[in-house]
Amino acid sequence: MITRLQIENFKSWKQADLPFGKITAFFGANSSGKTSILQLLLLLRQTVDWPDPSIPLFLGDRESLVDLGTFYDLIHQHNLSETLRWRLEWQIKPRKLFGIKNVQRIEHSAEIGWEGVGQSGRMVVRALSYRFDGRQVSYLRTEKGYDVRSEPPQLLARSPGRPPVHREPINCYGFPDSVRIAFQNAEPLFELAYELTSLAQRIYYLGPLREYPQRQYLWSGAEPSDVGMRGENTIAALLTSRRHGKKIPRKKRHSQTVEEAVAEQLKKLGVIYSFDVRTIAEGSRLYEVKVRLAPQSPEVSLVDVGFGVSQMLPVITLCYFVPKGSVVILEQPEIHLHPAVQMRLADVLIDAVQRNGIQIVLESHSEHLLTRLQRRVAEGKISHEDVKLYFCQFDGQKSIAEPLALDVYGQISNWPADFFGDLMTEAIETQKARIQRMKNEK
């Protein structure tokens, strides 16, 4: 689980220090910087997946999770003399590193700069480091190349007669093989890089624009790792979970299949009564999704019910389909939903976090989702320490993230002005207009 993210000079963010919880939600007006925070995590994910190790960051293309253009586009205020920095902290299963037992938390930090004149230059890693249990190992760019340093210095032991390391790092997070030659006890360095890779590959994303439902779905048997950025692999994911028999634990019964969990949550949302995925004929590779809106209603195709159902299906499926320990990033999960359903969506997210053991990071405009989270904290259904909320705003120069002080009773003591618009002022002005119009008509 990610526990903290610090960023400097990334898009509209000059700097930010963001503790994460099991549910971390960013609210705020359009163009306030909310999405950029999610994009940095997606940038790390696609860089880890990119096959070219010489590129510090894979900024993306039309097919990637995020397309950030060029370094000029992503550096704060397009200032190429600045460096992009981040520090990411996360929990791991207890393990032994450099002889230290039960290491449970790792920090990875990196500094990426621009070398050369204008757009003809290139990105370079100026520093990358890992910190754990009060120790730190760094890979630093020098005039001659790169070298490894540690704090305390005796943490690493150089091999006799071996030259300093000069090769470039693996992307923005890994050490080249020459490190193994230069140091006698270098293997934990590669274990640290592996932990970062493992974390990044557990990041899954669903965007705000999701595909329309279909009357029939062709499944060739290919097994997706998630539902796709637009939810295009949702039915394939459900069929994959059916093939492997994945179970979701629950209190009243021993477990549920992913399909049962998805169907139950759709029912709790109040959008349908039942849900079923089945072949159109025995032995066929074509599948259809049938739903009932009420107990006595006839079965109909997913295409023939409200659009919100098909938009919610990828959200719920992703939360129960991904493996335990995943980080699920959701952008505007409430889109196309009635306010009452937006509130119930918060319950789905809480349930998925608690039963499937995932972490959720989301960007939202929904006050209804927020107030339901507050209520569940007040009821003790989820700890206030597990919910981190932020209000983002842009002051004309930079984005600012204000942590919302959520207490054990679900109260927010520093509620920002005009958080979701000024409803009270709107009501007052409406009443003034009503009175004035009545006077004029008389």
Please state the φ and ψ torsions of residue 112, each to the nearest 5 degrees.
-115, 130
Q: pLDDT tens digits, residue range 199-230?
A: 999 999 999 989 999 999 999 999 999 999 99
142, burial (CB in 10 Å: exposed 0-12, middle 13-18, buried 19+): exposed
For the residues 355-378, what does the mean pLDDT come to?
95
More confident residue, 223 or 419: 223
In angstroms, the CA 129 to CA 137 distance is 6
Q: Helix 258-269 to helix 307-321 angle, to the nearest 10 degrees?
A: 140
Q: Tell me, letter by letter, the H, E, C secondary structure of 372-438.
A: HHHHHHHCCCCCHHHEEEEEEEECCCCEEEEECCECCCCCECCCCCCECECHHHHHHHHHHHHHHHH
For the residues 135-157, what does the mean pLDDT come to?
93
More confident residue, 433 or 354: 354
What's the pLDDT score for residue 427? 66
Residues of the chain with CATH 3.40.50.300: 1-202+323-442
What's the pLDDT score for residue 429? 77
Q: Looking at the predicted structure, is the pLDDT value of residue 424 above 60?
A: no
Q: Looking at the predicted structure, is the pLDDT value of residue 350 above 60?
A: yes
Q: Are 414 and 405 in contact (CB under 8 A)?
A: yes
Left (φ > 0), alpha (ψ -120 to 50) or beta: where does 192 sit? alpha
Longest dimension (CA), the chain: 100
Q: Looking at the predicted structure, is the pLDDT value of residue 110 above 80?
A: yes
Q: Are 189 and 179 in contact (CB under 8 A)?
A: yes
**pLDDT band of 20, cuts 50, 70, 90:** very high
Torsion of CA 193, 198, 200, 201, to 10 degrees: 140
Q: pLDDT tens digits, residue range 296-340?
A: 999 999 999 888 888 999 999 999 999 999 999 999 999 989 999
Report pTM.
0.93
Q: Are 233 and 221 in contact (CB under 8 A)?
A: no
Q: pLDDT tens digits, residue range 275-286?
A: 999 999 988 999
Please state the φ and ψ torsions of residue 236, each to the nearest 5 degrees.
-60, -35
**pLDDT band of 95, cuts 50, 70, 90:** very high
Q: What percent of the chain has pLDDT over 90?
A: 81
**pLDDT band of 352, cuts 50, 70, 90:** very high
Q: Tell me, letter by letter, the H, E, C secondary structure of 293-335.
A: CCCCCCCEEHHHCCHHHHHHHHHHHHHHHCCCCCEEEEECCCC
**pLDDT band of 425, cuts 50, 70, 90:** low
DSSP lists the bridge partners of residue 111 as 85, 127
Q: Which CATH superfamily is domain 1-202+323-442 in?
A: P-loop containing nucleotide triphosphate hydrolases (3.40.50.300)
As a whole number, the mean pLDDT across the chain is 93
What's the pLDDT score for residue 194? 96
Q: Looking at the predicted structure, is the pLDDT value of residue 389 above 70?
A: yes
What's the pLDDT score for residue 19? 98
What's the pLDDT score for residue 376? 96
In one letter, which amino acid is 241? S
**pLDDT band of 73, cuts 50, 70, 90:** very high
Please state the φ and ψ torsions of residue 341, each to the nearest 5 degrees.
-70, -35
